[in-house]
Amino acid sequence: MKREKQISILKELMRQLDEKVNVDAGVQYRNPASSYTCKDLAAKEWKTFFQNHPQIIGLSGDLPEPGSYLTIEDFGVPVLATRDNDGEFHAFLNGCRHRGVQVASEPRGKAHKFMCPFHNWTYSNQGNLVNIPRSRDFGDIDKSCHGLVELPAQEKHGLLVVHPNPKGSFEIDDLLGDLAPEIAGWNFDSLVYHTESVLDNQLNWKLANDTFGETYHFSRLHKNTLGHIFHGDALAYEEYGRNHRFVFATKNIETLKGVPEEDWQYGENASWLYYLFPNVQLGGGGHDANLIKIYPDPHNPGRSITKVNHYFSQEFIDYVAEVPDDGKGAYERERNPSLDAVVEVFDSTIEQEDYLMGETTQKSAETGIVKEFIFGRNEPALHHYHNAFREALEMPPLEKVG
């Protein structure tokens, strides 16, 4: 992110906090409760956003070295993603060309070849079919035409993106639009993968996404957790096509008063979160990143799976390794962190606080008694997210209140 942009975001957050005002969209919207429960809508979303839309599957650090691989089954098509021996990223349908069995089953690992467990046909990490046991018995087959089916895949700005449709096409820069240079500037490609957490909850995937759409709840729902570290009721927010940037202040921001602008640090004073259409929240705070991927259950609009991938810079990993664990709770340990404590705070806040709210909203929506929910003037990211997905499905925009 450009330095001028960082400064203007910090200034905007300080202004809101000083004036005790929040971001103001100048409009409120009504959101139909059926958006979280309708089976027909859920089927359309699955087809449009998950089976026929590029998917951000990870950051470069998920495939740290030649021979690294991942298997993914989050959006219907089983994917085998590899970094080949030359360091190139590929994605394939994880299905053997003999009789379709998955050639790799571990979630992630290192392999230069993949041997199908059924009859041991073997593929290189570039997808080529390299061996058929007892091929004379099996009969003639042109190996060069029976490699793994390749899926469109691109790695850029530290993002790994796959299209689940072999005939699909995309460019990461087109998906990011005007955000591309800014995303490039974060050097996501240098981050080291730490862990992935899987949250399986009884709430629609859009409700899960909604929990990342306002700071109005920070000092209320999160008063004993995130509320210690971050200011609520203040938000620097900007839209970029179907994506947006959502920045909130840490409590540290007060210390900038009296410090010359050229010395202002962005990472310590603000936390950024990008919403990347349709199902990703990507955020962090300088030396870490969290890639939050939210998937519907295609058979149940009231359930979603969230995969949270955690990454840290090598510098931060080295720093933490030198700090002794003082046995304090994760929040008290802010200045004395452990990587697992950072991860635990993040995941448990989402699951035990945010998603708990969403699960009860889901129950309200499913009664059919409540017909709509309201998005306030201080919740513009929710306006944008819901209107972006509605526009993509050729649905009318949300109705304004009043």
Chain residues in the site for ligand FES (CB under 6 A): 96, 98-99, 101, 116, 118-121
Q: Which does 354 bind (CB under 5 to 8 A by kind): Fe ion, ligand FES, none?
A: Fe ion
Q: Give me the residues paired with residue 55 across strands.
A: 162
> Rg of the chain's alpha carbons, rounded to an integer?
23
Nearer to Fe ion, 58 or 358 (CB): 358
Which span (35-43, 64-72, 164-172, 349-357) binds Fe ion, by CB under 5 A? 349-357
Place of tokens 């992630």: 108
Site for Fe ion in 1-40 (CB under 5 A): none
Residues sharing a CB contact under 8 Å with residue 327, sequence separation 6 or more, in sequence order: none
Output the smallest distance, CB 211 to Fe ion, in A.
5
Q: Which does 105 bind (CB under 5 to 8 A by kind): ligand FES, Fe ion, none?
A: none
Structure tokens that stand for 317 in this block: 């990993």
Nearer to Fe ion, 354 or 379 (CB): 354
Site for Fe ion in 109-168 (CB under 5 A): none
Output the smallest distance, CB 78 to ligand FES, in A.
13
- Following DSSP, what letter does each residue of 305-367 receive, concatenated? EEEEEEEE-HHHHHHHHHSPP----TTGGGGS--HHHHHHHHHHHIIIIIHHHHHHHHHHHHH
Q: Which helix (H) or strand (E) holds 56?
A: strand 55-59
Contact 125, 63 (CB under 8 A): no
Output the smallest distance, CB 106 to ligand FES, in A.
17
Structure tokens that stand for 230 in this block: 């971050």
Q: Which does 119 bind (CB under 5 to 8 A by kind): Fe ion, ligand FES, none?
A: ligand FES
Tell me if 359 contacts Fe ion by CB under 5 A: no
Q: Which does 116 bind (CB under 5 to 8 A by kind): Fe ion, ligand FES, none?
A: ligand FES
Instruction: Give the residue from 186, 157, 183, 190 showing the smallest Cα distance to 315.
Output: 190
Residue in 84, 347, 354, 359 binding Fe ion, rule: CB under 5 A: 354
Q: How far is CA 367 from the centre of its chain?
A: 30
Nearer to ligand FES, 43 or 149 (CB): 149
Nearer to ligand FES, 55 or 94 (CB): 94
Output the smallest distance, CB 226 to Fe ion, in A.
7
Contact 230, 349 (CB under 8 A): no
Nearer to ligand FES, 118 or 319 (CB): 118
Binding footprint of Fe ion on the chain (CB under 5 A): 354
